[in-house]
Amino acid sequence: MAAKWEHVDLEKRIWFLPRTKNGKARHVILNDLATELLLKQPRQADNAYLFPGKVGGQPLNNPQKCFKRTLQKAGISDFRIHDLRHSHALIAIINGASLYEVQNLLGHSQAKTTPAMRTWPMKRSGGSRTRCPGRSGKWSAKPSDCLDSVVTR
What pLDDT was estimated at residue 134? 41
Give the phi and the psi of residue 2 in degrees, each rounded to 5.
-90, 20
Q: Is the pLDDT of residue 99 over 90?
A: no
pLDDT digits (tens, 9 = 90+) for 4-60: 999 999 999 999 999 887 788 889 889 899 999 999 999 998 899 998 988 889 998
- The b-or-e profile of 45-72 (16+ CB within 10 A means b, else e) is eebbbbebeeeeeebbeeeeeeeeeebe
For residue 147, pLDDT beyond 90: no
- pLDDT at residue 131 above 50? no
Query: 100 with 126, same domain?
Result: yes
The domain in which residue 123 lies consists of: 78-152
Asked if residue 52 and residue 91 are part of one domain, the reply reads no
Q: Are residues 46 and 100 in the same domain?
A: no
**What is the domain count for the chain?**
2
**68 is a domain residue:** no
Same domain, 85 and 51: no
Dist CA 55 CA 138 (whole Å): 41
CB atoms within 10 A of CB 33: 8
Q: Please check the confidence at residue 94 and state whether its pLDDT lies above 60.
A: yes
Domain for residue 142, yes or no? Answer: yes
63-74 and 81-94 helices, crossing angle to 10°: 60
**Predicted pLDDT at 5:** 95
For the question of whether the overall pTM of this predicted structure is more than 0.75, the answer is no
**Averaged confidence pLDDT in the chain:** 76
Average pLDDT over every residue of 99-109:
79
